[in-house]
Copies of this chain bind each other. A is one copy, B any other.
């Protein structure tokens, strides 16, 4: 469904969000530990998220990553998915035709479209604060 990079991105963003809710900034090492991801690869992904203004990065001692409070409401899951995986998953043909076009549809166009719209709706309406709050409550997890 999503690339590993995207999965790490979502997990990392949620962990950073949780910390930001508590007013804490958090470093790469800690993030990679808490979401059980390869550290150097995670660093690349965090850079992408920072360039896309999903998270903020601060260099130097006591630096690390954080999310602006206003962004906890503004950023939806779909922002992360689009930043990392692009929108092929929403716009592309499920059977890999060069373009998904209802004027020249593939045999599963209608059925796929409806599922992709579900997915898109879910990702567009789920915000980060909501998920980070669930995490803080402690009944959901970021690693097995």
Residues of chain A whose beta carbon lies under 8 Å from any beta carbon of chain B: 1-2, 4, 7-8, 10-11, 14, 77, 89, 94-99, 101, 104-109, 111, 115, 118-119, 122, 126, 131, 134-135, 139-144
Q: What's the minimum C-beta distance from A95 to chain B, rounded to whole angstroms?
A: 5
Tell me the bound Cα distance from A29 to B87 in angstroms.
32
Q: What's the minimum C-beta distance from A108 to chain B, rounded to whole angstroms?
A: 7
Tell me the number of copies of this protein.
2
**Chain A interface SS verdict (over half):** loop
Can you show 23 pairs from A to B with CB atoms below 8 A apart?
A1-B89, A1-B94, A4-B96, A7-B94, A7-B96, A8-B96, A11-B95, A77-B108, A97-B142, A97-B143, A98-B143, A98-B144, A101-B144, A104-B144, A105-B139, A105-B141, A106-B140, A107-B134, A107-B141, A107-B142, A108-B131, A109-B140, A115-B115
Tell me the bound Cα distance from A96 to B6 in angstroms.
9
Asked if A14 and B107 sit within 8 Å, CB to CB, the answer is yes
A1: chain B residues within 8 A (beta carbon): 1, 89, 94
A4: chain B residues within 8 A (beta carbon): 96
